[in-house]
Amino acid sequence: MSLLVVGLSHRSAPVSVLERASLAAETQAKLLQDTLAAEPATEAVVLATCNRIELYADVDKFHAGVAELSTLLAQHSGVGLEELTPYLYVHYEDRAVHHLFSVACGLDSMVVGEGQILGQIKDALARGQELHTAGRLLNDLFQQALRVGKRAHSETGIDRAGQSLVTFGLQQLAAGADPEGWTAGKRALVIGAGSMSSLAAATLARTGVADIVVANRTRARADRLVEILQQGDDTAVRARAVEMSAVGDELTRADIVVSCTGSTGLVLTADALADALGVTLDAAPDRPAVTTTPAPADVDQHAAWVENGSAASAAVAGPATALRRVTVPAQSTGPVRLALLDLAMPRDIDGAAHRIDGVRLVDIESLAEASADAPMAADVDRVRTIVSDEVAAFGAAQRAAHVAPTVVALRTMAAGVVAGEIARLDGRLPDLDEKQRAEITQTVRRVVDKLLHAPTVRVKQLASEPGGAGYADALRELFDLDPQTVAAVSRADLNDPNRGRS
């Protein structure tokens, strides 16, 4: 079996496509179940964030696996396969490992170095474990990705190279001003109470906003977030929770709005925003929206583009598409009365809000534009070295693990031979006392252990090297090991309740 990932992200697709392809939680569960029902796959995990959708699987056939996973992504995202294919990337075996480790370290994030992706990887693994779609390979892979990401953040200054999308978004809203000085004393409305909204609320509290209002469809979650904010020792923010029905009234008092919900439709329309500001949308000057449009390119150009952007090569399953950057126009000619940060995918805030005087809107698309020119820290090179080293170590460990069941089966067979010979000896020499019998038994076992020690140690060493997978097959052939016994050892290892815990 082999590791395969098929996906799309902000590096390969325009935000408009990512927005349409976003997967709700229940859709992700159905995608995982359908992937396992497909013939090429035996394990599956889906990593879905605001700027990436990736399906990881253990497959027995590469081309069939790519075709099946691509089809499943199209079916569950609702974007036709013909339309989706140009934006898909494919990584296989070591390149798939390299890709996930790079993602875990923040190298492939919209804002390089941000750490929130670790929580999203952890959630993806937990979902696969809960649904029993993550087996031995993907459990090992995602657990190791979490460790690699933590190592990158603890051993390097990658945190200085990047930040959370919330912090980066506030910087864009502040338009060059110090975000802490810019937010000081302002009133903020946070719509949603999930992980991103909670991070936004905590960040706003730390930067000095005076008031935070949290609106969420489930009032209990909004209340809980308010409780957490008020327990913070490093802030003096005033916080309260409201029903979603109160958002319109709260808009009239807010200076900053951050929205990140799981809604499939708009949470804030341009009309609602215009009403809150007391202006008429139709009378607002028409400013072109921020757009990122696809431009045709050949496969080689696309692969090079992805290589430069993600530090991992890509094989594209179909015609390639690059992105043509469009200049972002100024959004307002007057003072900013309402600053909007939309971190949802699909978007929560109507893009037409940019037409309203006094409104500044920053969303995932404009963040992608701004982050393209963000400075890179020297620590990024160090993180890339860590990723390369960890990929090599993971590959060696997986290859060594592949031969382990065969070694165990060999030693089990040898133990059975020893037990049979001792039983035969008991029949031929019934007068042996317990001490003599124990000494003979121990002697025979030592002989067998010494004979097996060198070849089993050596086969593990050889198997850990590239191309070493065939040594397990050779060992089974040479000692005529029962494949059923080897498979039973593999299943026992997979079902070990302590396996993969960190």
Whole-angstrom Cα distance, residue 268 to residue 351? 10
Catalogue the E-assigned strands of 230-298.
238-242, 256-259, 293-296
Question: What per-residue confidence (pLDDT) applies to 318?
Answer: 33
Q: What is the 3-state secondary structure (H, E, C) of 473-493?
A: HHHHHHCCCCHHHHHHHHHHH
Tell how far CA 180 is from the center of its chain: 30
Whole-angstrom Cα distance, residue 16 to residue 362? 15
Question: What per-residue confidence (pLDDT) applies to 319?
Answer: 31
Whole-angstrom Cα distance, residue 167 to residue 206? 11
Whole-angstrom Cα distance, residue 80 to residue 50? 20
Query: Please, are residues 362 and 145 in contact by the beta-carbon 8 Å criterion?
Result: no
Tens digit of pLDDT at every position of the chain (502 positions): 589 999 999 889 988 888 889 898 899 999 999 999 987 899 999 999 888 999 999 999 999 999 999 999 999 998 999 999 999 999 999 999 999 999 999 999 887 788 889 999 999 999 999 999 999 899 999 999 999 999 999 998 887 655 677 888 898 898 878 888 899 999 999 999 887 888 899 989 988 899 999 999 999 999 999 998 888 666 678 999 999 999 999 999 999 999 998 787 899 999 999 999 888 765 444 444 433 333 333 333 333 333 333 333 333 333 333 333 333 334 555 688 999 999 988 889 998 998 898 899 999 888 877 766 555 557 788 999 999 999 988 988 877 776 777 778 788 888 888 888 888 888 888 888 889 889 999 998 899 888 888 877 777 777 666 666 677 777 777 777 776 655 555 554 544 544 444 4
Whole-angstrom Cα distance, residue 361 to residue 228? 28
DSSP 354: G
Whole-angstrom Cα distance, residue 270 to residue 220? 28
Question: Does the N-terminal peptide bond of residue 179 adopt cis geometry, omega within 30 degrees of 0?
Answer: no
Cα Rg of the chain (Å, integer):
28
- What is the pTM for the complete model shown? 0.64
* β-bridge pairing 256-259 and 187-191: parallel
The partner residues of 6 in beta bridges, in order of sequence, read 55, 90
Scan for tokens 């000057």, then name that residue: 285
* Active-site hit among 50, 79, 247, 359: 50
Nearest to 227 by CA among 206, 201, 203, 245: 201
Contacts of 76-82 with C-beta under 8 Å, sequence gap 24+, read 76/23, 76/27, 76/30, 76/31, 76/34, 77/20, 77/21, 77/22, 77/23, 77/53, 78/20, 78/21, 79/17, 79/20, 79/21
Question: What per-residue confidence (pLDDT) applies to 334?
Answer: 63
Question: What per-residue confidence (pLDDT) applies to 375?
Answer: 53
Is 105 considered catalytic here? no
219-231 helix and 195-207 helix, angle to the nearest 10 degrees: 30
Query: Please, are residues 148 and 387 in contact by the beta-carbon 8 Å criterion?
Result: yes
Question: What per-residue confidence (pLDDT) applies to 310?
Answer: 33
The partner residues of 215 in beta bridges, in order of sequence, read 191, 242
